[in-house]
């Protein structure tokens, strides 16, 4: 065996899987063809509050915030206007969980930060880890699974081939996943017919001319070019998405698109273009015995609402701690089988919600009167603003999905449990989550006989169990991913041994 876990793909999800394994002391190798992150392809910009909480467990939330060019306090707003420099129609506040600093509901607010920067922070953390390694300029080209492990074929830059052997493989190799094909899983679902065209551009001085103040999204409801625009930094670099623009039209004149979205003939240097189409696809299964799909390899959703990579980080943490628990010898194979049962429904719900967000985009919301005289604009504005709030609120305010997904019904969660442990602050920047151990933690009134039963049962079964005395709360068995595996009251008749057996996927 080279490393016990091989990860195909070093995008955000593969790197996150590696860091979760490393967090539990398990060696792993990430194989990734791209030598560098794609700086000019800033797809995801919304890192959710939940993802930031998960990054905080690895000590990386603060690093990302320090390196993100847009501070979280800079803006939590999305403005809808006739152009970047045009007339304002309406706005949303408290978008993407960016307003949650210090809020008891979360250990971290969201963060606007371009995907390549997140990937670079994760790459740096992998490079600094004694357990994880990243092999760039190689790709996984074949997998053969047997009773004791998986043999993987790797192909290097000049066509050189080599093999590696692992006990488990995580396929985080994106939408065209070779891993998905290798285990015979298939995407099911549909493509959106409408094309989109992303542009990254530099426009010195443009920010000074924007009349709307700071906002993380400026939606443009212009009949000339509907879409959205945002800043990549507080200097001169911007991104935009032109909705309904086919690749050939976009490539023919990207500057015209920028100017139409801005609403003025600004000077802009086009730095990169990236055409894409939204897709709503879910793999029919997530795993074989030893190979697990995570991130875009398992599911694709339209980006509206900013959920794709965030859902993938949730996958990474879920499969990461479970593989580590099995490899570290204290969990059984049923724990691995719970991965699909827990994560596939979350992806299905995310796809559904993102598709709902996509049903109404800028082209559907524009009204020709918005481009007319002041009186025409004012006549149209209330109706358009109402339609915007009706159709787009869920896109900017989705904490029920981001924080509220539950693993209730999972085979490794006790009845009535499965939620994320409720958060609260214990002191300035001291989160209740910071008191959790890396493996399971017993939280609640530790003076009870039931708490003592759990501690004894865990020691007897070799399950690592930290404790956090928090007498104000119910007794909870909290998993490494901060979800509650079991909760009860001191007086309940509970067999702690069987709870631990179930929640670690073992037989009694
Ligand atoms: C316009 C746009 C905006 C978006 N905005 C957001 C947002 O705001 N928030 C959000 O959460 N998501 C967003 N997304 C989605 C997000 O970009 C993806 O969900 C995310 O990149 C998925 O990460 P991943 O690691 O699963 O896959 P990828 O990022 O696709 O990474 C897969 C990696 O695998 C590598 N690879 C491919 N084949 C192989 C192989 N055979 N062997 C080894 N490696 C291989 C690739 O080089 C790549 O690095 C957006 C997407 C788009 C298009």
Write the pLDDT tens digit of every residue in 240-286.
Answer: 999 999 999 999 999 999 999 999 999 999 999 999 999 999 999 99
Residues 57, 180: one domain? yes
Mutate-to-test residue for ligand 1 from 172, 173, 350, highest number of ligand atoms within 8 A of CB: 173
Give the mean model confidence (pLDDT) for residues 424-451: 96
Q: What is the pLDDT of residue 102?
A: 96
Contact 141, 178 (CB under 8 A): yes
Q: What is the pLDDT of residue 134?
A: 98
pTM of the model: 0.98
The minimum-distance atom of ligand 1 relative to the CA of 51 is 11
DSSP assignment string, 395-441: HH--HHHHTT---TT-TTS-TT--SBPPP-EEETTEEGGGGS-SSEE
* pLDDT range class, residue 473, cuts 50, 70, 90: confident
134 C-alpha to ligand 1 centroid (Å): 17
Q: What is the pLDDT of residue 501?
A: 98
Considering its fold, how many domains does the chain have in total? 2
- Domain end residue (candidates: 358, 389, 404): 358
CATH number of the structural domain spanning residue 462:
3.40.30.120
Helix (H) or strand (E) holding 49: helix 49-57
What is the tens place of the pLDDT at every residue in 86-132? 999 999 999 999 999 999 999 999 999 999 999 999 999 999 999 99
Residues 485, 336: one domain? no
Residues 57, 178: one domain? yes
The minimum-distance atom of ligand 1 relative to the CA of 198 is 1
What is the tens place of the pLDDT at every residue in 145-191? 999 999 999 999 999 999 999 999 999 999 999 999 999 999 999 99
Residue 160 belongs to a domain: yes
Residue 224 belongs to a domain: no
Residue 24 belongs to a domain: yes
For ligand 1, atom 30, the nearest C-alpha belongs to 174
**Of 134, 4, 130, 112, residue with least CA distance to 64:** 112
CATH number of the structural domain spanning residue 312:
3.50.50.60
Q: What is the span of the domain harbouring residue 323?
A: 5-69+111-188+280-358
Give the mean model confidence (pLDDT) for residues 8-12: 98
Ligand 1: residues with CB < 6 A are 8-14, 31-34, 43-46, 115, 139-140, 172-174, 178, 198, 276, 295-296, 303, 306-310, 312
CA-CA distance, 261 to 294, in Å (whole number)?
A: 35
The sheet with strand 291-293 has its strands ordered as 132-136, 28-32, 5-8, 168-171, 291-293
CA-CA distance, 353 to 350, in Å (whole number)?
A: 5
293 C-alpha to ligand 1 centroid (Å): 13
Is the pLDDT reported for residue 19 higher than 90? yes
352 C-alpha to ligand 1 centroid (Å): 19
Which three-class secondary structure state does DSSP give residue 501?
helix
* pLDDT range class, residue 1, cuts 50, 70, 90: low
CA-CA distance, 352 to 14, in Å (whole number)?
A: 24
> Phi and psi dihedrals of 78, rounded to 5?
-125, 125
Q: Which of 68-72, 471-475, 477-481 has the lowest mean pLDDT?
A: 471-475
Contact 219, 81 (CB under 8 A): yes
Q: What is the pLDDT of residue 507?
A: 83
Is the pLDDT reported for residue 410 higher than 60? yes
11 C-alpha to ligand 1 centroid (Å): 6
Q: What is the pLDDT of residue 193?
A: 86
- Domain end residue (candidates: 311, 343, 358): 358
Q: What is the pLDDT of residue 490?
A: 84
265 C-alpha to ligand 1 centroid (Å): 33
**Of 12, 36, 39, 362, residue with least CA distance to 200:** 39
174 C-alpha to ligand 1 centroid (Å): 6
The minimum-distance atom of ligand 1 relative to the CA of 196 is 1
């Amino acid at each position: 065996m080279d490393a016990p876990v091989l990860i195909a793909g070093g995008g955000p999800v593969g790197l996150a899987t590696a860091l979760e394994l490393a967090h539990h002391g398990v060696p792993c190798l990430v194989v990734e063809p791209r030598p560098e992150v794609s700086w000019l392809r800033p797809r995801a910009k919304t890192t959710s509050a939940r993802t930031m909480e998960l990054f905080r467990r690895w000590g990386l939330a603060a690093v990302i915030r320090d390196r993100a060019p847009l501070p979280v306090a800079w803006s939590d707003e999305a403005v809808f206007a006739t152009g970047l420099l045009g007339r304002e129609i309406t706005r949303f506040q408290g978008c993407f969980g960016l307003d949650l600093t210090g809020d008891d509901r979360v250990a971290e607010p969201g963060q606007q930060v371009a995907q390549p920067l997140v990937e670079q922070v994760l790459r740096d953390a992998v490079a600094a880890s004694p357990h994880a390694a990243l092999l760039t300029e190689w790709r996984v080209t074949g997998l053969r699974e047997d009773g004791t492990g998986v043999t993987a074929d790797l192909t290097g830059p000049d066509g050189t081939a080599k093999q590696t052997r692992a006990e488990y493989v995580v396929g985080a190799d994106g939408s065209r996943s070779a891993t998905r094909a290798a285990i015979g899983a298939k995407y099911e679902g549909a493509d959106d017919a409408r094309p989109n065209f992303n542009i990254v551009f530099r426009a010195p001085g443009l920010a000074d001319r924007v009349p709307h103040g700071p906002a993380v999204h400026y939606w443009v409801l212009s009949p000339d070019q509907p879409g959205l625009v945002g800043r990549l930094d507080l200097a001169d670099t911007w991104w935009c998405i032109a909705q309904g623009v086919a690749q050939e039209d976009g490539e023919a004149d990207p500057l015209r698109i920028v100017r139409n979205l801005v609403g003025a003939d600004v000077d802009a240097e086009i730095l990169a273009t990236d055409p894409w189409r939204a897709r709503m696809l879910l793999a029919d299964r997530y795993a074989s015995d030893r190979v697990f799909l995570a991130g875009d390899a398992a599911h694709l959703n339209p980006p509206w609402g900013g959920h794709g990579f965030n859902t993938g980080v949730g996958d990474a943490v879920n499969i990461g701690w479970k593989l580590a628990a099995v490899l570290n010898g204290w969990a059984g194979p049923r724990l691995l089988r719970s991965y699909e049962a827990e994560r596939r429904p979350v992806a299905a719900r995310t796809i559904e919600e993102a598709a709902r967000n996509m049903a109404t985009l800028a082209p559907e919301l524009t009204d020709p009167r918005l481009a007319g005289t002041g009186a025409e604009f004012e006549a149209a504005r209330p109706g358009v603003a109402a339609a915007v709030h009706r159709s787009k609120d869920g896109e900017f305010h989705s904490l029920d999905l981001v924080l509220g997904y539950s693993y209730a019904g999972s085979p490794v969660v006790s009845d009535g449990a499965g939620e994320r442990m409720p958060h609260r602050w214990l002191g300035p920047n001291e989160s209740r989550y910071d008191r959790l151990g890396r493996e399971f933690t017993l939280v609640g009134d530790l003076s009870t006989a039931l708490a003592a039963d759990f501690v004894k049962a865990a020691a007897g079964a070799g399950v690592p169990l930290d404790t956090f005395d928090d007498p104000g709360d119910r007794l909870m068995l909290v998993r490494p991913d901060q979800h509650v595996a079991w909760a009860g009251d001191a007086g309940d008749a509970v067999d702690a041994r069987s709870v631990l057996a179930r929640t670690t996927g073992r037989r009694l």
